[in-house]
Structures are given as C-alpha cells and as structure tokens.
Structure 1
Amino acid sequence: MDFPLGTGTVAVDLSDREVTVATPTGGEAVDVREAATTAVANPHGSPLSARVDPDATVAIVVTDVTRATPDDVLLDVLLDELQRIGVAREQVSVILGLGLHRPMTDGEIEDALGEHADLAENHDPDATVEAGTVEGCPIELNETVAAVDTVLATGMVEPHQYAGFSGGAKTVVIGAGGESQIRYSHGPEMLGRDGVRLGRIENNPFREFVDEAGDVVGLDFSLNVTHGPAGIMGASAGDPRAVVADLAGTAREALSVEVSEKYDAVVAGVGAPKDANLYQATRAATYVALGANNPLREGGRLVVPAALPEGAGEGTGEQRFYEWLSTADSAAELYEEMAQGYEPGAQRAFVVARVLREYDLWVTNSQHPAVVEDCLMHAAETVEDAIEPGSSVLVVPDALNTLLV
C-alpha cells in the first residue's frame, strides 16, 4: 500500500502483519470557486455588502503554508465581491496568519496567493497592539489588522487537537495575534480543561475563548472551506461561529470511522504540507492517541512516515518545541515540568510528551532522523522497520482528516 510522504507517496509492504485500514467515506469534492462564490452570496448572517462601507479599509487574514487552504481562490472571490461593493484593491491589505510559525518566502506567497501575492505581508507577532481582553487575557492583534475598518478572514475547518475544528476566528486570533493569547490559550491550564479535544466545538473552552477573542478583534466575515480525502468538500461564509459549525458538520459526516478493537501499532499518514517538519507531523500521532477513541493497546506504538525537509521546524514555536523535547531526559519528567507552564508555541511538546508517556512514536522515511532521535522519539528508514512482524496494525492513511470514533 502507498502512504503520503511529502508531495508524493511511499510504498509500504505490511503483508506479514494483520492489517486493518481506517478510511473515511471522504464525502464528495466540490468546485472551490463555485462553492465559495455561492457561500459569499448566501452567507450566515448579513451579506458582505451590509458589513463593508465602500470607503472602508479592509484587512483579509489568510492561512499560512501549514494549511492546505485554496487561499488564492478564496481571496479572489472576496476581492471580486469587495470590488462589486465599491472597495478598491488599493484599500485592501492581506496578512499571512503565521501565529508563531516562520515567515513565508516570496515563492511560497506567490504559490499560495497567485496574482494577489503583492497585497500580502507576513504577520509579525512582535508588532501587535492590544485590542481588549478575554478571561483576563490581553488580546494582541497585528498592527495592520488593528488599523483597518473591516476585518475578513479565510480558513480551513479541519479537525484540530484543541479547537475541535480549526477555522473561523482562529485564523485572526491566533494567526494574526501576539504571544499573549497564544500563551494563554495553548497553556497547560487551558489544554487540561474538560471539553478541549479533537473534533468537538460544543462546550469546548478553547473554541469558546477563540470565538470571544474574535469578537474583540472585530472579525466581521469569514470565508472558510473544509476538506477530506476527496478534496475540498464545501465552503461557508458569514458569521464565524456559524461558518465553523456548518463545515464541522460536513467534516464529521465525511471523516468519521468507527473502530472497535485495540491494535499493537497504528500507522498514521500525514503528507505535505504537515510533514514539512516534526512539529507539524507529530499531529498525526497525537490526533490518533488523544482523539475520541484511542485504538492503541497498552504499550502500543505509533508510526508516522514524514519527510521533514525542515527538520524540527524553523519558526519560534517549532524551535521551542525542539528545545523542550531535545533537552528532556524522559517524557514523564518533561510532561510534569511543562505542566507548570511554558512559552507560547511549546504546547506541541507538551501534547507530544503526554502521548510519549504511554506509547513509543516512530518517525520513518525522514530527511532528519537525528532530529527525531533527539526528541524522545525513534527514527527508522521505513515503516516496515518500525513494526514487528505479526503485529496487529491499524492503518490511518490520512490521520489529520480521520476521526476515530
């Protein structure tokens, strides 16, 4: 069978193991431009024309290279609608919602935004202003976004470890925010609250915090999509909360797979863009082990084929992730230490440590096996090398877009 690896695949032979494959139904793909145009014309809440004055300055926050969002098409649809309303292109700024990830290169921006790349600027988390507070936490906002009259956002509504599903206000609050709200929302106290988990948006404290912060920063209108194995499965626009709820429903129906047994090993596929670095690729393992239904037996192992051309990752958050894991003596000690607090961006190390306390994590086929070994994980050349013959194996070809229930 083939597993995603980078932008391609790698062939894996598990014929001497007992294999079960968890493949969601996947839904049906839609034409992105058509679906986005229809969504903007029929939004949740009032139309864009009622929210934007023709003389207004507008900021559109888009996703970064870690999300497989068709931002070129979504941005084109939004700019067309703004032009129809009377908003000139010169009145619009586009901010790349990096959060604490590394800046995108000029080439990546051109690939992501096409003819609209000239409008874009990388978000700088050190160049923010305070927009208000939520739960006593200062909400910091990108200076360009804070200065405009109207704030719009694109986004990908996909399963998310903390928010349940990403998208909605998260693109602006985290992507174009400062360390303050990232520290608070991704800290051990928040991540330990009941309801903060993969696939859940109702009664999820993380999701509620992000949504309230979206009100504070003045997010006026979202245009989001959701995707699965078939491709982009739908688009939704308008009020951010309603957009997320709408597309989360589509995603749940398409991505859920029932699992009733426990397995010796789970192979979790990830592929590009998430396997660019170890920080992102470990999502595949934590989504499996910390989801609604953990399919691993006690002492089982997780196996993630990942290219890792960037090693641990190049952004502030990725480097903090690497520093915590690479200097730790054990997962148990690391988890206990991080439970006392950590810097924004390091939360992925905390979540990974939580999993590593119970399971071995093997990363295969990577360009940086030494980085993997530095981080309390195991490196192997192939998936076959990481799984003992005779093992019972659950294969999840697209772990980031599969909900095990």
Structure 2
Amino acid sequence: MRISLPYGKGSKDLEISEERIEGLLYSRTHEYKSQKSESEIVRDALRNPIGSESLEILSKGKKKIVIISSDHTRPVPSHVIMPEVLATIRKANSDAEITILVATGAHRASTDEELRDKYGDEIVDNVRIVMHDSKNEADMADLGTLPSGGSLMINRTAVEADLLIAEGFIEPHFFAGFSGGRKSILPGIASYKTVLANHCAEFIDSRYARTGILENNPLHIDMLYAAEKSNLKFIINVVIDQDKKVIAAFAGDREKAHYEGCRFLKGLAGAEGKKADVVVTTNGGYPLDQNIYQSVKGMTAAEASINDGGIIIMASECSDGHGGEEFYKTFKDGASPEKIMKDILERERNETVPDQWESQVLARLLMKHEIVMVTDAPKQMIEDMHMHYAKSMEEAFSIAEELLGRDDYRVTVIPDGVSVIVE
C-alpha cells in the first residue's frame, strides 16, 4: 500500500503492507466538496454574519479600521479572504484608513516575499501593513489583568482602531482546542509577557488543554477575555482542506461565529483512534512543517493513537530548523525529558520562559515514546533534542523496529496530524 504524506511543498511516499496497518486516520475535510468557489464561500459568509451586524454596517462612519491577519507560519488563504474583506469595507466606507496588522504572536516578522506570497502584490503595494512585535513594549496598550492573573498587554494599533476585525482559519489546536477566533488577539497581537503568562506550565498541564477541547480549557478562557477587552468586533474564519483550499467560512461575532466554525470542523475532523505500536504522522506540509517547533503539533495526534511505549515517526521537512532558540536549548542542555519536565512544572506563571509550552508538550511525548524524525533538519539538531534522525521512511521504520526489538508490530498512519481530532 502506498500512502502519500505531505512534506514541505511536496510529499513523501510511505509504502507499507496492508496487513500491518491498524488504522488510517484522515480528516473528512479533505473529502468535503463545495459547489461554490473559494471567493464565493467567503463572500457568502460576509453577507450572512452569525450573531452580528454585517461588516458593511459596522464599517460605516469608521475612520481607523484594523484587520488582524495570520502570519507566514499559518496556511490561511489570505489571498482569497483579504480581497473580499477589503472590497466589503471600501464599498461601505471608501474614506476609511485600513491597516492590516500581521499577528506574529511570538514568531519572527514575515518577510516581504512571504507577504507577497500571502496577499499578492496589489495588497502589499497598496494597503498599510503593520508587523506585530510582541517584544516592543512601546507598541503595547495596558488592558488590565487576565482571569488567570497575567497582565493583558495588546498591540496599540488594534486597541486604537474604531473597528477591529480578524481573519484566520480554524483547525484543531493541540492545547487551545481550536485555532481561530480569539487566538487572533492572544497570542496573535499580545505582548510577549502576556503570551508567557497564558502559556504557563499549569495551563499546558491541564487535561482540558488538548486538541478539540474548549470547555474548561484555561488557555481558551484567558483568550476569550483578551478578545473581549480588545473589542474584537467581527471575524471571518475559514476551514480548509489538505490542498489549503477554502471549503467553508464563518463570519460575524467573535464567539458565536467561531463556535459555529468549530462545530463544523469537529464534525469532519473527528477520527476514532486506532492504537498501534508505531504511529506515522506529519504536520500537514508547508507552511506548518517549516520547523521542529511547529511539528510538535502533529506529534500530539500520534500521542492520542499509540500504545504505551510505542514509537512515533514524524515526517516534517523543517527547512527553517528548530524554530525557537530557547526551545532548542532546553533539550540540548537538558539531561533528560523527565528533568526538563520537572524544571518546567516548578515554574510559576510569571516565571514562564520563551517557548516553554512547546518544550513542555515535547517533553511529555518523549517521556512516553521514542520519536523518529524524517526530516531535512540537521541530524545533530534532532539528536540534541533527544529524538532519532532518519533521512527516509525506510530508515525510520528500521530504527523503530530496532527500538521495539521485534518485527510483529502494527502501524497507524495519520497523513495530516494537524487536521485530525483523534477521539
């Protein structure tokens, strides 16, 4: 049996005996077909907002309109969404000063090339684009305190807007439950200090901070509060398939539209777990598999469908290396995953360090499972992070077999680990 696995901007083939396969877990978003074009789907959502007045009505009379937009690390089809949003606003208010605020969260700034790839030349050349810098305190406005006790500092460009809008996409998220909606604010345009407080060890350790869970999720509760205090008035979130094409869109109230989108996605992305000794997964290809940091997300899908002591094989290009210096150093300098986890759990909320949350999840995985990375990242980097390096799927299976000490193992394959909610 040959299974195509997303890898960078291409794919890797996995050839495996059908008799060995325990389960093949797909999101049904990849099978969902709409009779409308991507632009029509977005346009219809804007015309039929959920729990909100239309964007045309909200835009009238406003001087400063800010549109929060995801950065280069997210496969949001902004080249489809943004023209529709801009056309809607300009039709209602041609005099408005429009700013696109790129929600980098704690990531690096997007390059000009990445912006043009995301929006197209016309938008980059004609619309004011501001890059959020979470570490620039002068850019932040103090909005008080989060329910968790952390300080709430949000980008001043957004806070000073007459109308604040956010575009994005909804996918399963490994500790926030789902992406989209309120995440455009926190972590999207929040101060690094606010992100650190929200992503504290206590919250990441919560059994509710898992893929597909919103109720009682402590990170989600903080994020909702941040969105409310920032006066996020309107969102347009899409759901995409494996080709990064829009299959559905949800516009309107920041909470009601987002929840409707989450319900839609959960109905398609839910997959019954099939426990196996070896689980193969990916991070869905480019842009989500640019680095090891992001690839932890796809690994958590394997975690939910693996036997105790099983082996995770992760296929992720990682053309950008580790993706976080502190994340890398935590493992390079750490004696063991157990010691890394102990150090993290002993930190209070305001002692959270950069990239700690990703380190915490990876340490949790490594405490239970050996991980084999099929990647273009340097071998030494992978080994520094307590994982095994393989240059091909064949080599990865040889390593897995050696680690298991037997050849009668079963395999579950999750071709796109970030698109599935394993139940």
When normalised by structure 1's length, the TM-score is 0.93
Question: What is the RMSD of the two structures over their aligned residues, measured on CA atoms?
Answer: 1.7
Aligned partner (choices 285, 289, 295) of residue 281 of structure 1: 295
Instruction: Indicate the residue corresponding to 1:187 in structure 2.
Output: 200
What's the secondary structure of 2:307's corresponding residue?
strand
SS of alignment partner, residue 34 of structure 1:
helix
Letter matched to residue 176 of structure 1: I
2:238 maps to 1:238 = no
Among candidates 19, 22, 27, match of residue 24 of structure 1: 27
Is 2:181 the counterpart of 1:172? no
| 2:220 aligned with 1:207 | yes
Alignment check: 8 A CA contact 2:282 2:295 kept:
no
- Structure 1 stretch displaced more, 359-368 or 339-348: 339-348
Displacement of 1:17 after TM fit?
7.1
Query: SS where residue 101 of structure 1 aligns?
Result: coil
The 5 Å alignment of 1:125-274 reads: 125=134, 126=136, 127-135=139-147, 136-229=149-242, 231-259=245-273, 261-270=274-283, 271-274=285-288
Equivalent residue for 2:12? 10
- TM-superposed deviation, 1:101: 0.6
Contact 2:344 2:360 in 1 (8 A): yes
Matches of 1:275 and 1:80, distance apart in 2? 32
Where 1:275 maps in the other structure, the secondary structure is: coil
Tell me the distance in 1 between the aligned counterparts of 2:251 and 2:84.
Answer: 11
* Map of 1:74 onto structure 2: 81
Bigger mean CA offset, 25-34 vs 109-118: 25-34
User: Deviations 1:252-276 (Å, cap 9, x if unpaired)?
Assistant: 11111113x4211100022111111
Aligned counterparts, 1:16-165, within 5 A: 18-19=20-21, 20-26=23-29, 27-30=31-34, 31-44=37-50, 45-88=52-95, 91-114=97-120, 115-118=122-125, 119-125=128-134, 126=136, 127-135=139-147, 136-165=149-178
- The reply to whether residue 381 of structure 1 matches residue 391 of structure 2 is yes
Q: Post-superposition shift, 1:298?
A: 1.3
Cα distance in 2, alignment partners of residues 306 and 156 from structure 1 = 21
Shift of 1:370: 1.8
The code of the aligned residue for 1:59 comes to: V
Structure 2 unaligned regions, length at least 5: 402-406
Matches within 5 A, 1:340-379: 340-341=346-347, 342-379=352-389
Instruction: Give the whole-Å Cα distance in 1 for the aligned partners of 2:387 and 2:158.
Output: 40
- 3-state secondary structure, aligned to 2:262: helix
Amino acid aligned to 2:334: A
Deviations 1:42-76 (CA, angstroms, capped at 9, x unpaired)? 11122223333424201111001111111122111
CA distance in 2, matches of 1:17, 1:34: 44
SS at match of 1:148: coil
Q: What is the CA–CA distance in structure 2 between the aligned matches of 1:195 and 1:35, rounded to whole Å? A: 32
Q: Judge which range, 49-58 or 376-385, deviates more.
A: 49-58
Distance 1:138 1:217 in 2: 13
Distance 2:90 2:311 in 1: 53
Of the structure 1 ranges 336-345 and 21-30, higher mean CA displacement relative to structure 2 is found in 21-30
Q: Does the CA contact (< 8 Å) of 1:305 and 1:366 recur in 2?
A: no
The letter of the residue matching 1:100 is A
Between the aligned partners of 2:180 and 2:362, the Cα distance in structure 1 is: 23
What SS is found at the alignment partner of 2:289? helix
What CA distance in whole angstroms lies between the structure 2 residues aligned with 1:3 and 1:56?
47
Aligned equivalents of 2:258, 2:336: Cα separation in 1 = 38
Q: Is the 8 A contact 1:223 1:237 kept in 2?
A: yes
Q: Distance in 2 between the 1:288 and 1:212 partners? A: 31
Given that 1:14 and 1:384 are in contact with CA atoms closer than 8 Å, whether structure 2 keeps it comes out as: no
- Is the CA contact (8 Å cut-off) linking 2:150 and 2:198 kept in structure 1? no
Residue 17 of structure 1 contacts residue 391 of structure 1 at CA under 8 Å; is this kept in 2? no
* 1:228/1:251 contact within 8 Å kept: no
Q: TM-score, normalised by structure 2?
A: 0.89
Give the residue type in structure 2 aligned to 1:240.
Answer: R
Identity, % of aligned pairs? 25
Partners of 2:185 and 2:226 within 8 A in 1: no
Pair 1:173–1:365, CA change in 2 (3 A): closer
State the Cα distance separating 1:29 from its structure 2 match.
3.7
SS at match of 2:235: strand
Q: Which amino acid aligns with 1:304?
A: M
Q: CA deviation at 1:401?
A: 0.4
Aligned length in residues? 395
* More deviation, 272-281/119-128: 119-128
Distance 1:50 1:215 in 2: 20
- In structure 1, stretches of 5+ residues that fail to align are none
Alignment check: 8 A CA contact 2:296 2:361 kept: no
